[in-house]
Structure 1
Amino acid sequence: MNHHDGDNARQAQAAQALESRIRETVEASFDATVAELSDLVRIPSVSWPAFDPRHLGESAESIAGKLRELGIFDVVDVRRAPVAGSENAADPELGQPAVVARRAARNGRPTVLLYAHHDVQPPGKDEDWQTPPFEPVLRDGRLFGRGAADDKAGVMSHLGAIRAVADALTESGEDLDLGIALFIEGEEEWASQSFGNFLRENRELLAADAIIVADSSNWDTETPALTVALRGAVAFNLKIETLDRASHSGMFGGAVPDAMLAAVRLLDTMWDKEGAVAVAGLREADLAIPEYDEARLREETGLLDGVSPIGTGEILSRIWAKPAISITGIDAPDIANASNTLIPSVTVRISARIAPGQDPAEAFEAFKRHLQDHAPFGAQLTFEDGDFGQAFLVDTSGWAVAEIRKAMADAWDRDPVDTGIGGSIPFIAELVEEFPGAEILVTGVEDPDSRAHSPNESLHLETFRKAMLTEALFLARLNQRSA
């Protein structure tokens, strides 16, 4: 063995010893990490306007305190930025508090930005929960509570991974040279309204060579996943009018179309008889699709017996690569106030997902053309409150993708699956715009039964442990890599 080979062998042995220490550290500290996560879940940090915003400040300060305790960051701060559209006002409206931190890279190492969010969805009705939503409960290997999976587990996977790497390096007598930045957002569940301004105001603090967005899901509890495709989003209110005032349904029904009749007829034109989207101009993407059958769809969604899936083609293609349309709200008289009246106007909220590769503004124009062309009885249409989110496709040829896949395989003892997600993470497009040279890795701590946004949200603890170990191995390997 020559001198060069001997150095390589010693470096390999040292790296193997370090990773063994990281595994031991993750395992030894896991119960304490779950306890810290439980403390965060107890804070009802809902970012919707109807909820007390003080809880978001409490959550942000708690996370900032944990980061300061690590003792490795040059900067740890809680910051806010103006909501989009208000930045030039004399008194701009500020978004919710976010936590930022940074340590500078040393000795030519790269910098990685770790993203998660500490705000959560509203809990919904207490009676729909088996246990109180903000009182974390351990049951059957899962931690139940609002935000336990989405996305306070993402926050703690970052903190736990950093802590494990820092402790293992200290025990080994080695230095942490990797640059690390964190961005723990406080309004992801309320449309990330200050996200773009926050990035611009804190660009130097957040700039990185690779970005981990820990806000997605794994294939199942045994198999990790790297999210490589996300659908975009188009949402808007559609007002449908046929009368300038309400009229007696007995006196004029059968001759005068009311707005509800027009709405029902019009909305039905957006799907064909199989339930597939029938709006011309909405496109599909060509994605590699793993096997997934109807039985799994039923298990993961709670589809009732006798109710058939909708759409055509491979099931995952319908979810990942094709558009979808939902009517998520209707403003019309409720049953308690239903009189025998022809309704003059109805407003509906249309929420659509669009395939990766399609621009949401283009898709919105397709909706407008379709609905105007199909408006029955000459009904008058008004389009309001449009909200767009860009789709996302990952370039899987980069070095960071290769490193995260290897870390996943080593932590899970199983090769990861490249997946798409039917949902949208619109702010990723803003990350790409602000940091065009950074590789973006969308990972997650969730599994198909996490029920994010739903009652009885939960985190599978073994999935959480493996996700944290994955990130720790990834960070440790980047600590040896030249930028």
Structure 2
Amino acid sequence: MLKITRMTSELSRQNAVREAAASGIPSALADLGGLVRIPSVAFPGFDAAPVQRSAEAVADLVRGLDLFESVEIKRSAIPGTDEIGQPAVLATRAARNGRPTILLYAHHDVQPVGDESLWESAPFEPTVRGGRMYGRGAADDKAGVMAHVAALRALKEAVGSDFDLGVVLFFEGEEEAGSRSFAQFLADNAEALRADVIVVADSGNWDARTPALTVSLRGNTRFTMTVRTLDHASHSGMFGGAVPDAMLATVKLLSTLWDEDGAVAVDGLHERDADTPEYSEETLRDEAGLPAGVSPIGRGTILSRIWNKPSITVTGIDAPSVANASNTLSPEVTVVISARVAPGQEARDAYAAVEAHLRAHAPFGAQLSFRDQDYGNPFLVDTSGWAVEAARDALHEGYGVEAVDMGVGGSIPFIADLVEQFPAAQILVTGVEDPHARAHSPNESLHLDTFRNAVLSEALLLERLDARE
């Protein structure tokens, strides 16, 4: 009889969580719209005031929960500089009666808009159409912030505020700008951030209906390279054909980074040998916007190319613009190169391999210089812990579809810092994005049904952890 009574009580709590999560979605989306209206770009050169305003708005939402013993806006120093990092929101609630503590992470800063003419609606004016909310940060990652807040609202409404689960909220303010103060922030606030389970809501799902746990992430190394061939600009008619200009040298040098199939051709960059699920070229074309007539690159299964192999992308170039083109041999060209690193290889080792390759292949004796190196290590999840199973069960119930384990070709470099600072914590990487979210791109959007399911799933996970003995 005691067992039946306990099961009935658990079902009653879970049903209450379901009802509370569903009823709270309209207010959660309204609050998300308010956050999207704040242009919180943390990149150097952008106004820092909106990032502070965003942190204050997030802190007000957290204080409104009336669940935490402490809610603060905090900053930490950026190591090796005289700068201070962007504002983060940190809230803490101590566990009681032997319950675990869960740390919920998301970030409130966003990517720059880019070419605003490519947006179908104003990037900082949330707009709902076709079952999606459009706006910069609507998916990445202010929806992650609101998923955490909405799940806690649902838990409180369902079971009251006197629950035993320990909860820490950490809403970062500079993830898109490289998390330069992240490691120092962890060190400065280690005791407040310590948790048994860490949920990083900054990834995606298999599709709009199918939830996923991200179990592998590629790392990243990013750097700036300048190619110089002349002491000064010269007339292309007078000396062209005999004197190598920097653009010629740069094009020839960059082309050595890939083979004829578009696969990376740099010795010393590793690949991970792991099976991948079925994923068709048709799906790739749909999700990536790859038009007919343009072929995919690389070799092996499509997902192995994205999840388990390195990639190299030239993400920026400084050279004479089309508007300023003249009959001149350019003395130097500067490029930004981003290399994704396969799980299992250190980012610094990958950078060393790419730099060595570029120096070895510099044509015509071109002079190369390197600066602004950034490193983020890959991540592989230990899927053997109890928290992973609890998360899978909650995702299954929240979405009504079995969760899948998936890799992601992108990088979340700070997770390596979390692993180093909190080696005993179980880390779960989840998210509210679907493959059509277009994070970092024009017309970024949040699929509203995915958001609803994500909130319910997290609320159910919180209830389960609160009941864990």
TM-score by length of 1: 0.95
Matched, 1:476 2:463: yes
Structure 2 SS opposite 1:419: strand
Give the structure 1 partner of residue 430 of structure 2: 443
Per-residue deviation, residues 320-342 of structure 1 (Å, max 9, x unmatched): 10000111111111122222122
Matched, 1:82 2:77: yes
Give how far 1:295 is off: 0.6
Give how far 1:195 is off: 0.6
Which residue of 116, 128, 137 maps to 1:147?
137
Structure 1 SS opposite 2:43: coil
What is the distance in 2 between the residues matched to 1:418 and 1:287?
13
Give how far 1:215 is off: 0.4
Per-residue deviation, residues 158-189 of structure 1 (Å, max 9, x unmatched): 0111111111112xxx9410000000001111
Aligned residue pair count: 469
Structure 2 counterpart of 1:71, one-letter code: D
What is the distance in 1 between the residues matched to 2:202 and 2:46?
23
Matched, 1:346 2:336: no
Which residue of 341, 345, 355 maps to 1:368?
355
What is the distance in 1 between the residues matched to 2:19 and 2:79?
45
What is the distance in 1 between the residues matched to 2:422 and 2:264?
35
Structure 2 counterpart of 1:82, one-letter code: A
Which residue of 223, 227, 252 maps to 1:265?
252
Which residue of 177, 187, 203 maps to 1:190?
177
Matched, 1:458 2:429: no
What is the distance in 1 between the residues matched to 2:151 and 2:225?
46
What is the distance in 2 between the residues matched to 1:251 and 1:112?
69
Per-residue deviation, residues 276-307 of structure 1 (Å, max 9, x unmatched): 00001101012331111111111111112211
What is the distance in 1 between the residues matched to 2:277 and 2:210?
13
Per-residue deviation, residues 347-380 of structure 1 (Å, max 9, x unmatched): 1111110101101111111112211221112222
Give how far 1:49 is off: 2.5
What is the distance in 2 between the residues matched to 1:29 and 1:334?
50
Structure 1 SS opposite 2:412: coil
Q: Give 1:14-163 correspondences, 5 Å limit.
A: 14-86=9-81, 92-163=82-153
Give how far 1:126 is off: 2.5
Per-residue deviation, residues 380-412 of structure 1 (Å, max 9, x unmatched): 221221111111000111111111011111111
Aligned-residue sequence identity (percent) comes to 59
Structure 2 counterpart of 1:238, one-letter code: M
Which residue of 283, 290, 298 maps to 1:303?
290
Structure 2 SS opposite 1:38: helix
Gaps of 5+ in 1: 1-5, 87-91
Structure 1 counterpart of 2:121, one-letter code: T
Which residue of 1, 4, 23 maps to 1:9?
4
What is the distance in 1 between the residues matched to 2:2 and 2:305?
52
Give how far 1:48 is off: 1.6
What is the distance in 1 between the residues matched to 2:315 and 2:244?
24
Which residue of 207, 211, 217 maps to 1:220?
207
Task: Provide the alpha-carbon RMSD of the alignment.
Answer: 1.2
Matched, 1:255 2:242: yes
What is the distance in 2 between the residues matched to 1:239 and 1:44?
32
Per-residue deviation, residues 219-270 of structure 1 (Å, max 9, x unmatched): 0111001000110101111221222222222122112222111111111111
Per-residue deviation, residues 411-449 of structure 1 (Å, max 9, x unmatched): 111111111111100000011111110011000000001
Per-residue deviation, residues 117-140 of structure 1 (Å, max 9, x unmatched): 011111123321111111111111
What is the distance in 2 between the residues matched to 1:124 and 1:371?
29
Structure 1 counterpart of 2:43, one-letter code: W
What is the distance in 1 between the residues matched to 2:123 and 2:223?
30
Structure 2 counterpart of 1:9, one-letter code: I
Task: Spell out structure 1 runs of 4+ moving beyond 6 A.
Answer: none
Gaps of 5+ in 2: none
